[in-house]
A and B are shown apart, each in its own frame.
Chain A
Amino acid sequence: MKDMLSKQAVGLKPSGIRKFFDIVSEMEDALSLGVGEPDFDTPWHIRDEGIYSLEKGRTFYTSNSGLIELRQEICNYIKRKQGISYDPKHEVLITVGGSEAIDIGLRAVINPGDEVLIPQPSFVSYEPCAVMAGGVPVIIELKAENEFRLTAEELESAITDKTKILILPFPNNPTGAIMERKDLEAIAEVIRKHDILVMSDEIYSELTYKEKHVSIIEMEGMKERTILINGFSKAYAMTGWRLGYACGPREIMEQMVKLHQFAIMCAPTTSQYAAIEAIRNGDEDIKEMRTAYNQRRRYLLHAFQEMGLECFEPFGAFYVFPCIKEFGVTSEEFAERFLAEEKVAVVPGTAFGDCGEGYLRISYAYSLDNLKLAIGKLADFVEKLRREGKQA
């Protein structure tokens, strides 16, 4: 059959991570610093609640938006954390991971030709989702000298009369950057002035190591124009449960519920019951995991300092983003050689946008013992490259 495929789908660049995944999965004994999910198991009381819901025979669809109890708990949670109230009946939707929320959120608001502002380096899905929604991705290249935060000037200069929505991916994967209150206030002012929407992906909101996470919805006039995305994967180590949520203005949520209803029906029922337990009784778990991540974060930054590897101090998520420009190789070359010669996988910064060139994403979702092993190999490799550089 000719013209079997969608030109739009074919036109999407495959994820830069995929290539590495294929090489690494061939290597039995490779160490990895390339994982984008917590190393902790889902806390037992949460798993137990999932099991209990199965025992009880809760194996049917829930309402399209998700269990009202869970939506209510999510509203309580946001009220507790951000001091902002959402209406559980009309302003919350439970999705299949934060990823689905990104997809349908964009499809709910984009008209053909609308520009979608995407700060990069950032998560791999925004750009293809924007394209599939009929939008035109406009990349804002974040800079190391700003600690990879989005500045008001960068935002201002990317806005045109076609700009529809800004994606705000903080705390950030892959850089670990956060936005503090003052940063968000400056952004909010530009957003209000140009009357555009925001999709704030706050999936790492519980993992910050400086001050408490601040959300754009706390800024004046922003709740009304923001699709807030969060979920259970990172905070509660629940990646495989595929459960996220979106909160936003009723008009937008009505369209999102419609798309969700036709494509998905509802998020997995077992996961929803487990999530109620997580959000009600999971604060201690988060605290424990956050403490462990923070220890590892300090360990890595110190190790980079010792090996003379340049890295800004990231205060969020579980990634560090060291600079490898001194070696005169591309991120991809570095990562490929590091894997081939030392059998350690890291993800090249370019997997998260062209402006990730010259950087690596190193995940600290590993035990300290594992990190030590892998970082020891990184130190050896860095030494080797420096020796080669001198000889050349």
Chain B
Amino acid sequence: MREELLAIIERNSRIDLKELAVILGVEEIDVVNELQALEDEGIVCGYHTMIDWEKTSIEKVSALIEVRVTPQRGQGFDNIAERIYKYPEVTSVYLISGGFDLLVTLEGKSLKEISGFVSDKLSTLDSVLSTATHFILKKYKDHGTILTKKYEDQREKVSP
């Protein structure tokens, strides 16, 4: 049940326990226990809400930053990654294979705020060799959800 449960709540973390039990064909108590176990094991790390900020009047700017760094002896990339991810404006940090090392995503109120972060905080870290900042202009799809179009049932309403 674990894989199926994870797939469901990854899409909809608000689904109620009773309904989860019904569609998984198990008892409600089993769902409760499994969810608890998933949280305890750190597999389920949070229940977030997907927001399309574009549709609000609140200004937000996000950017992807490619960062090349010098790994440190004994620490590899972990130390430098930690120094970066501790900034609250950083929304994710991934170690990446290929032409650069860390992919950092960043959310700020304005272009200025983000460029300020890159020039003042990120680039000045000792082990950072270079950065390349890409501003996100439009989100079409995020976390498996298409943001630009709503699902429309195009089928005939009755068919054999």
Chain A interface residues toward B at CB < 8 A: 15, 17, 20-21, 24-25, 30, 32, 34-37, 39, 123-125, 173, 291, 295-296, 298-299, 302, 345, 347, 351, 367-368
Contact = CB atoms under 8 A, between A and B. Distances in A.
A229 to B, nearest CB: 15
B19 A32 contact: no
Given A34-B158, A35-B156, 6 more contacts: A24-B158, A35-B158, A36-B159, A123-B160, A124-B160, A299-B19
Contacts of A347: 158
Contacts of B19: 299
B58 interface: no
B40 interface: no
A125 B160 CA distance: 9
Interface string B126-160: 00000000000000000000000001010111111
5 contacts: A32-B158, A36-B159, A123-B160, A291-B4, A302-B22
A25 B157 contact: yes
Contacts, number: 55
Contact of B23 (A34, A295, A345): A295
Nearest to A99: B160
For the side of the interface on B, what is the size category? 10 to 19
Contact of A20 (B7, B151, B155, B158): B158
Q: Which 5 A-B pairs have the closest CB atoms?
A: A295-B23, A34-B158, A32-B157, A36-B159, A21-B158
Contacts of B153: 39
B121 to A, nearest CB: 40
B24 interface: yes
B25 interface: yes
B155 A35 contact: yes
B22 A34 contact: no
Contacts of B22: 298-299, 302
Nearest to A295: B23
Contacts of A351: 160
Contacts of A302: 22
A21 B19 CA distance: 32
B24 to A, nearest CB: 7
Nearest to A27: B157
Contact of B157 (A15, A21, A123): A21
A123 B19 CA distance: 32
B14 to A, nearest CB: 12
Contacts of A20: 158
